[in-house]
């Protein structure tokens, strides 16, 4: 590449990093109300749940990784000694933030599978393998300073393996997507060609965010193998941190504060759906002559145009039902360890769903 091309590529890298920080700052500001609602609920419960702890770790480790990366890249006039110590800290934040995000992906995949043991074992093995590869790739970097005096992470001469970090992350994401896709299709009864249903499933279960993170990791994998300057190679590095942290944070928000997400989960691991008011959604089962009806999901006839004969028939059926003794049974399933309180914002009245509940719920 000519000097002019390198300068243009470096400018593009500057813009990409600024865009990454803008996206993350907007995400932080946008989710502040949901964060406050979560903390308020934890305060009422008297203790901090596992889900809330994960949310804090993901949110603020991601912020630390993005800030430290920006300080080193956009700063000027740093000494070689400063860059040496700085590069011991900044990449470490990136690795730990990535591992926290991947832990969220692991548990979400485990939940979608209905707590299948083989899924937990497979994902755990993949997680530890990805951890080893990512720490290895991070340990091979050396401090590098540009002519402007900013701090960068370069590769050892003849030992360029930084791309291994993103290869491990991308393969892990593929495993998450593959297992989630398999169970979402199987549990919802959709066909492999039902793209609308699949898209809705990916959105409601938070897997669409993982798909976006996978795409950014693939871009980083490509750029870190290009024989160009370090500045150009790391063009999408900060974007990868921001998108991955955003993905896991959105998954946790969907579980801890359903009102922060416009989608309603229909998978078995999520119960019947999310109460957009953040309250418990109970499923009442009315036993009539040995059968039962899920009342929260019964179709309402109000507002539908009906003829006089149909209205009369409906009124007669209601009178007949009132003469039959009815037993109302409410089952609420919750996971106090995740929510840290006496109730969760989701519940299920179907005993079959309790066999494979969400470990977050």
Phi, psi dihedrals of residue 151, rounded to the nearest 5°: -100, 130
The span from the CA of 261 to the CA of 111, in Å, is 18
Res 47: pLDDT? 86
Element housing 27 (H / E): helix 3-30
The span from the CA of 100 to the CA of 97, in Å, is 5
Res 1: pLDDT? 53
Between 286 and 312, where is the model more confident? 312
- pLDDT band with cut points at 50, 70 and 90 for residue 59: very high
Q: How far is CA 36 from CA 39, 49, 52, in A?
A: 5, 15, 11
The model's pLDDT over 159-184, given as tens digits with 9 standing for 90+, comes to: 678 889 999 999 999 999 899 888 88
The model's pLDDT over 74-118, given as tens digits with 9 standing for 90+, comes to: 888 788 788 888 877 888 899 999 999 999 999 889 988 889 999
First to last CA, the chain: 53
| Mean pLDDT, residues 17-27 | 93
Does 3-270 carry CATH code 1.25.40? no
In what side-by-side order are the strands of the sheet with 291-294?
291-294, 283-288, 327-331
Res 206: pLDDT? 67
Res 145: pLDDT? 65
The model's pLDDT over 250-281, given as tens digits with 9 standing for 90+, comes to: 889 888 886 655 444 434 344 333 343 433 33
| Mean pLDDT, residues 137-146 | 75
- Burial of residue 361, with CB atoms counted within 10 A of its CB: 0-12 exposed, 13-18 middle, 19 or more buried: buried
Phi, psi dihedrals of residue 307, rounded to the nearest 5°: -80, 170
| Mean pLDDT, residues 297-323 | 48
The model's pLDDT over 330-342, given as tens digits with 9 standing for 90+, comes to: 343 444 555 555 4
**Which of 174-183, 224-233, 317-326 has the lowest average pLDDT?**
317-326
Q: Where are the domains of the chain?
A: 3-270
Res 13: pLDDT? 82
């Amino acid at each position: 590449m000519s000097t002019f091309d390198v300068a243009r590529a470096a400018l593009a890298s500057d813009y990409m990093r600024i865009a990454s920080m803008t996206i993350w700052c907007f995400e932080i500001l946008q989710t502040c109300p949901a964060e406050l609602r979560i903390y308020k609920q934890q305060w009422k419960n008297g203790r901090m749940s596992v889900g809330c702890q994960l949310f804090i770790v993901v949110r603020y480790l991601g912020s630390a990784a993005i800030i430290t990366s920006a300080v080193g890249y956009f700063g000027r006039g740093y000494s070689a000694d400063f860059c040496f110590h700085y590069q011991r800290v900044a990449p470490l934040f990136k690795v730990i933030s990535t591992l926290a995000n991947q832990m969220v992906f692991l548990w979400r995949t485990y939940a979608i599978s209905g707590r299948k043991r083989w899924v937990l074992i497979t994902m755990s093995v993949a997680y530890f393998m990805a951890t080893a590869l990512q720490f290895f790739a991070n340990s091979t970097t050396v401090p590098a300073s540009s002519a402007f005096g900013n701090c960068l992470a370069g590769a050892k001469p003849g030992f360029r393996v930084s791309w291994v970090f993103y290869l491990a992350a991308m393969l892990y994401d593929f495993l998450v997507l593959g297992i989630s896709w398999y169970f979402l299709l199987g549990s919802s009864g959709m066909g492999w060609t039902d793209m609308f249903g699949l898209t809705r499933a990916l959105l409601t279960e938070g897997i669409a965010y993982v798909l976006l993170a996978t795409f950014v990791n693939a871009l980083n994998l490509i750029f870190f193998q290009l024989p160009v300057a370090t500045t150009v190679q790391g063009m999408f590095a900060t974007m990868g941190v921001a998108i991955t942290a955003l993905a896991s944070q959105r998954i946790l928000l969907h579980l801890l504060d359903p009102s922060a997400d416009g989608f309603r989960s229909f998978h078995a691991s999520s119960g019947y759906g999310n109460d957009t008011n953040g309250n418990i959604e109970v499923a009442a089962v009315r036993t009539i002559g040995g059968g039962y009806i899920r009342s929260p999901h019964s179709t309402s006839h109000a507002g539908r145009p009906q003829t006089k004969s149909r209205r009369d028939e409906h009124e007669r059926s209601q009178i007949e039902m009132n003469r039959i003794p009815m037993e109302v049974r409410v089952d609420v399933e919750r996971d106090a360890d995740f929510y840290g309180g006496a109730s969760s914002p989701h519940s299920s009245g179907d005993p079959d769903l309790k066999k494979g509940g969400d470990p977050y719920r």
